[in-house]
Amino acid sequence: MSDVFYKVKGLPSEVGGQNPDGTFWSTTDPDEIARIVAEDEAKAEAEVARKGHDCWDNPVHSLFRSSRGGMQDAYNCGICGELLQVG
């Protein structure tokens, strides 16, 4: 399972993301969502510890060229440049 697209506060009613093969997945199962969110938060904490900063504290607006063509709004970390969110 790939990264969840967006950072959440509390539990959303639906969580989705993109698979490595480019297809999208989503779920509305509360147990599944709780597990995914907990996993995502643990991963985010590990990243903060590794990098020494929280990328989400330093978002910079940018444009992302999608694989289907066209530009989309995106956000990158202003410190390390990591792509945080598209759309």
Contacts to Zn ion by CB under 5 A: 55, 77, 79-80, 82
Could you give the angle at the alpha carbon of 48 between the alpha carbons of 83 and 72, nearest 5°? 15
**Considering the complex, what minimum distance in angstroms separates the CB of residue 60 from Zn ion?**
10
Task: Between 4 and 33, name the residue whose CB sits nearer to Zn ion.
Answer: 4
Residue nearest to Zn ion (CB): 77
Task: Between 27 and 58, name the residue whose CB sits nearer to Zn ion.
Answer: 58
User: 75, 59 in Cβ contact below 8 A?
Assistant: yes
**Considering the complex, what minimum distance in angstroms separates the CB of residue 83 from Zn ion?**
10
Q: Nearest 5°: phi and psi at 82?
A: -65, 140
**Considering the complex, what minimum distance in angstroms separates the CB of residue 80 from Zn ion?**
3
Task: Between 39 and 54, name the residue whose CB sits nearer to Zn ion.
Answer: 54
**Single-letter code of the amino acid located at 67:** S
Could you give the angle at the alpha carbon of 61 between the alpha carbons of 41 and 71, nearest 5°? 105
